Amino acid sequence: MIVNEPVPDTFADTPARDRDPDWFKRAVFYEVLVRSFQDSNGDGIGDLKGLTAKLDYLQWLGVDCLWLPPFFKSPLRDGGYDVSDYTAVLPEFGDLADFVEFVDAAHQRGMRVIIDFVMNHTSDQHPWFQESRKDPDGPYGDYYVWADDDKQYQGARIIFVDTEASNWTYDPVRKQYYWHRFFSHQPDLNYENPAVQEEMISALKFWLDLGIDGFRLDAVPYLYQREGTNCENLPATHQFLKRVRKEIDTQYPDTVLLAEANQWPEDVVDYFGDFPSGGDECHMAFHFPVMPRIFMAVRRESRHPVSEILAKTPAIPSGCQWGIFLRNHDELTLEMVTDEERDYMWAEYAKDPRMRANIGIRRRLAPLLDNDRNQIELFTALLLSLPGSPILYYGDEIGMGDNIWLGDRDAVRTPMQWTPDRNAGFSSSDPGRLFLPTIMDPVYGYQVTNVEASMSSPSSLLHWTRRMIEIRKQNPAFGLGSYNELPSSNPAVLAFLREYEDDLVLCVHNFSRFAQPTELDL
Q: Binning pLDDT at 50, 70 and 90, where does residue 2 land?
A: very low
**Cα angle 203, 117, 131; round to 5:** 60
pLDDT of residue 359: 86
Mean pLDDT score of the chain, rounded to an integer? 96
Range(s) of the domain holding residue 494: 483-521
* Confidence (pLDDT) at 402: 97
Q: What is the mean pLDDT of residues 48-65?
A: 99
pLDDT of 9 > 50? The answer is no
Q: Are 211 and 12 in contact (CB under 8 A)?
A: yes
What CATH number is attached to the domain comprising 250? 3.20.20.80
On whether residue 173 sits in a domain, the answer given is: no
| Contacts of residue 66, Cβ cutoff 8 Å, sequence gap at least 6 | 29, 30, 31, 32, 58, 106, 111, 112, 113, 114
Alpha-carbon distance of 256 to 63, in angstroms, equals: 16
For 39: left if phi > 0, alpha if psi spans -120 to 50, otherwise beta; the answer is beta
Distance CA 492, CA 497 (A): 17
Residue 503 contacts by C-beta under 8 Å, 6 or more apart in sequence? 475, 476, 477, 481
DSSP state letter for 356: E
Please compute the mean of the pLDDT values over residues 190-209 and round it to a whole number.
98
* CB contact at 8 A, 303 and 494: yes
What average pLDDT score do residues 475-500 get?
Answer: 98
Whether residues 359 and 447 share a domain: the answer is yes
Same domain, 391 and 344: yes
**Spatial separation of the C-alpha atoms in residues 204 and 216, rounded to whole Å:** 11
Per-residue pLDDT for 182 more than 90? yes
Shared domain check, 492 and 352: no
User: Are 443 and 428 in the same domain?
Assistant: yes
As a whole number, mean pLDDT of residues 154-160 equals 95
Do 272 and 333 fall within a single domain? yes
- Checking if the pLDDT of 32 tops 50, the result is yes
How many Cβ atoms are within 10 Å of 474's Cβ, its own excluded?
10
Reported as a pLDDT band with limits 50, 70 and 90, residue 3 is very low
Within a domain: 183: no
- Assigned domain for 282 exists: yes
β pairing state of 493-500 and 389-393: unpaired
pLDDT reading at 167 higher than 60 = yes
**Whether residue 493 sits in one domain with residue 390:** no
Same domain, yes or no: 227 and 85 = yes
Q: Tell me the catalytic residues.
A: 218, 260
Q: Is the pLDDT of residue 16 over 90?
A: no
pLDDT for 138-151, tens place per residue? 999 999 999 999 99
**Can you give the pLDDT at residue 5?**
43
Helical packing angle, 461-474 and 373-385, nearest 10°: 20
pLDDT of residue 521: 85
With beta carbons less than 8 A apart as the criterion, state whether 106 and 154 touch.
no
In a domain, 137, yes or no: no
Q: Name every residue whose Cβ is closer than 8 Å to that of residue 431 and which is 6 or more positions away in sequence.
A: 422, 423, 437, 438
Domain match, 433 and 347 both: yes
Burial class (CB in 10 A: 0-12, 13-18, 19+), 4: exposed
Q: What is the mean pLDDT of residues 479-508?
A: 98
What pLDDT is stored for residue 7 in this prediction? 42
Judge contact between 437 and 405, C-beta under 8 A.
no
Give the angle subtended at the CA of 263 by the CAs of 262 and 266, to the nearest 5°.
145
Q: Does 280 or 357 have the greater pLDDT score?
A: 280
Indicate the DSSP class of residue 64.
-
For residues 468 and 495, state if they share a domain: no
Which is higher by pLDDT, 13 or 24? 24
pLDDT tier at 522 (50, 70, 90 boundaries)? confident
User: What is the rounded distance in angstroms from the CA atom of residue 502 to the CA atom of residue 495?
Assistant: 19
Domain assignment of residue 166, yes or no: no
Query: Is there a single domain that holds both residue 294 and residue 366?
Result: yes
Long-range CB pairs of 273-277, under 8 A, 24+ apart, other chains included:
273/238, 273/241, 273/242, 273/245, 273/317, 274/317, 275/315, 275/317, 277/317, 277/319
Q: Is residue 8 part of a domain?
A: no
The whole-number pLDDT of residue 358 equals 81
Q: For residue range 407-435, what is the model confidence (pLDDT) as tens digits?
A: 889 999 999 999 999 999 999 999 999 99
Strand partners, 259: 217, 285
pLDDT at site 14: 67
Query: Reduced to 3 states, what is the DSSP secondary structure of residue 426?
Result: coil
142 vs 124, 125, 240, 276, 406, CA distance in Å?
15, 16, 18, 37, 38
Q: Are residues 495 and 378 in the same domain?
A: no
Question: Are the beta carbons of 354 and 344 closer than 8 angstroms?
Answer: no
| More confident of the two residues 9 and 270 | 270
Q: pLDDT value at position 357?
A: 86
Interatomic CA distance for residues 320 and 483, integer angstroms? 15
Residues 264 and 340 in one domain: yes
Residue 491 has what pLDDT?
A: 98
How many domains in the chain?
2
pLDDT digits (tens, 9 = 90+) for 276-335: 999 999 999 999 999 999 999 999 999 999 999 999 999 999 999 999 999 999 999 999
CA distances from 303 to 61, 291, 375, 477, 492 (A): 29, 13, 14, 22, 5
Q: Is pLDDT of 172 > 60? A: yes
pLDDT score recorded for residue 17: 56
- State pTM to two decimals: 0.95
Over 70: is that where the pLDDT of 481 sits?
A: yes
Residue 496 lies in a domain: yes
Question: What is the Cα–Cα distance from 75 to 480, expressed in whole angstroms?
Answer: 41
Question: Does 324 fall in a domain?
Answer: yes
Q: Residue 28 has what DSSP assignment?
A: P
* Vertex 124 angle, CA 218 and 202, to 5°: 50
